[in-house]
Amino acid sequence: MAETRLWLEWLARFGYAARGAVTLVVGLLALLAAVSPGGDVTGSRGAIQTIFTQPFGVALIAIAAAGLFGFALWRLCQSVLDADGRGRDAKGLAVRLGQGVSAVTYLGLGIFAVGLVLGRGGGGADENESVRDWTAWLLTQPFGRWLVAAVGLAVIGAALGMAAQAWTARFREELSCDARAARWVVPLGRAGYAARSLVFLLIGGFLVLAAWQSDPSEARGLGGALLALQAQPYGRGLFGLVALGLAAFGAFEFAEARYRRIRPPRPEAAAAAVMRAARGG
């Protein structure tokens, strides 16, 4: 049993590193676009494709895919099994719901990466198109506009949570590093959370706009939100700061891979959680 928990811990750390690599590429490409015409503003799937085109790209993406699946599994443990001890109150359930959404997101990224390795090309690489597709589907459902608006407001809520992390550096509580390491880890985390907060605020705002106008073309993914920011009057400087912040968050994820407190659930606790879920509470 101890070996299983140790295996899950290392898989989670590997996942944080893979997530960091993808985010770092997104930030660096955006930073290049901010300072020269040679950059490419893209989201996570575009970053994976960029890695794929590099020397040894197939091997790198295969490794990244394993890490992304590992991160998705860890997020699932955090969400379903409450590995972080968030509890079952409203705040804890909201955090765990967000972790569950993150698990699905990184599972999808892992599947996309595997598709590249297997030679299936870059189908579905446009994150904006994917976001618009599911927004369009959601709008066709009963109370669809309300559902899209609810998703948008949830994303805005997550953005505000990231802003709080940037302001308070509360993420430090989940890290096990000495004061010397904290001097560079904490600023990276604050800059990263601040940048992600602004990007997610834009994504949520676009979803609310899509709901208001009942127009899925208004929805944006990560790359679309960055492009919208870049296109604003006097937005180039802010865009450069956000790009730098995203790169900082990528570096921070590598620090999380090293220093984060990982508490894999015990098998008996996991079984009890599954039984509670099967009983509906």
Q: What is the mean pLDDT of the chain?
A: 87
Beta bridge partners of 66: none
pLDDT for residue 65 = 94
The predicted structure's pLDDT at residue 203 = 94
Enumerate the domain spans of the chain. Answer: 2-278
More confident residue, 265 or 12: 12
Given a cut of 80, is residue 210 above it in pLDDT?
yes
Q: Average of pLDDT values for 116-139?
A: 78
pLDDT band at 90; cut points 50, 70, 90: confident
Residues in a beta bridge with 175: 260
pLDDT, tens digit, for every residue of 62-82? Answer: 999 999 999 999 999 999 888
Q: Judge residue 179's burial from the number of C-beta atoms within 10 Å of its C-beta, 0-12 exposed, 13-18 middle, 19 or more buried.
A: exposed
Task: Evaluate if residue 119 carries a pLDDT over 60.
Answer: yes
Supply the pLDDT for residue 218: 92
Q: What is the pLDDT of residue 39?
A: 61
What pLDDT was estimated at residue 120?
65
pLDDT bucket at 156, cuts 50 / 70 / 90: very high
Average pLDDT in the 195-211 region? 95
pLDDT at 281: 53
CA 61, CA 46: separation in Å to the nearest integer? Answer: 12
Give the global pTM.
Answer: 0.88
- At residue 19 the predicted structure's pLDDT band, cuts being 50, 70 and 90, is very high
Residue 209, pLDDT > 60, answer: yes
> What share of the chain in percent tops pLDDT 90?
55
Condensed to tens digits (0 to 9), the pLDDT of residues 212-266 reads 999 999 999 888 888 888 887 766 788 889 999 999 999 999 999 999 999 887 6
CA-CA distance, 140 to 136, in Å (whole number)?
7
